[in-house]
Amino acid sequence: MAFELMKLPFAETALEPHISAETVSYHYGKHHQGYVNKLNGLIEGTPYEDAPLLKIIQQTEGPTFNNAAQVFNHDFYWKGLSPEATAPSVELSDMIERDFGSMEVFREVFLTAAAGLFGSGWTWLVLSDDNKLVIEQTSNADTPVRYGRIPLLVCDVWEHAYYIDCRNARPDYLQQWWKLVNWRFVSDNLASVENDPIAGYAQPCNDDNEVCDYVDTMQENEKTAT
Ligand code: FE
């Protein structure tokens, strides 16, 4: 089945005055749509025709990988923006403070990294294997999910994300982008990792505590469902 362009979670005008409707129209309607169309053309008649997006990202290379990853990255980018003000969860705030010192320091470090990324790419906030918040940069279409890492937030620093509004001034775009970050989305991404005790448990959990009881029940339910 062919992939479809995700529905934008807000109107094209909703991000103004920070990101113009014209930018959203080109970025979403032309670039993002273009990746979806190219991906569909590339997988048609191949073993990946009905594969989930993540499987295509993790198993292919070249143009198929590039377009599949760009679909994922752009889906993630739009979901990470909100025209309404949002706030990080207590858990996320605590982790930002623990790993960066403060929200202000995190902002500075993240935006400096994004401004300094050479060429086209993406700046991510990722949850590392040892449960720390880290900033990761990827070039072109590359994406943390290719390597099984867990993204929480992303900023698109391809020129098509800002050239209409800011010309070549990427730092100006980053200042505007920051004002639109959907902290609820970032917090939900973090919570969905933390609330998934099934992950990492292949065997029944024998300790006598609440988490283990939950894991055992979920595993039982999964067996019954299949
Ligand atoms: Fe883009």
- 59 CA from centroid of ligand 1 (Å): 22
- For residue 138, the Cα-to-chain-centroid distance in whole angstroms is 12
Task: Give domain limits for the chain.
Answer: 21-194, 197-226
- Judge contact between 184 and 39, C-beta under 8 A: no
* CATH classification for the domain delimited by 21-194, as one of 3.40.50.2300, 3.40.640.10, 3.40.50.920, 3.55.40.20: 3.55.40.20
Query: What number of residues does the chain have?
Result: 226
How far away, in angstroms, is 105 Cα from ligand 1 center?
26
Question: What spacing in Å lies between the alpha carbon of 180 and ligand 1's midpoint?
Answer: 16
Mean pLDDT of 77-98: 98
How many A from CA of 55 to the centre of ligand 1?
A: 21
Would you call 160 helix, strand, or coil by DSSP? helix
- Tell me the three state secondary structure of residue 121: strand
Instruction: Write the pLDDT tens digit of every residue in 35-85.
Output: 999 999 999 999 999 999 999 999 999 999 999 999 999 999 999 999 999
Q: How far is the CA of 67 from the centre of ligand 1 (A)?
A: 11
Q: Output the CA 87–ligand 1 centroid distance in Å.
A: 25
Q: What is the pLDDT of residues 114-143, one digit of tens each?
A: 999 999 999 999 999 999 999 999 999 999
pTM of the prediction? 0.86
Tokens of residue 215, six digits? 């894991």
Separation in Å, CA 61 to CA 4, 42, 56, 67:
21, 12, 9, 10
Give residue-wise pLDDT tens across range 170-197: 999 999 999 999 999 999 999 999 776 5
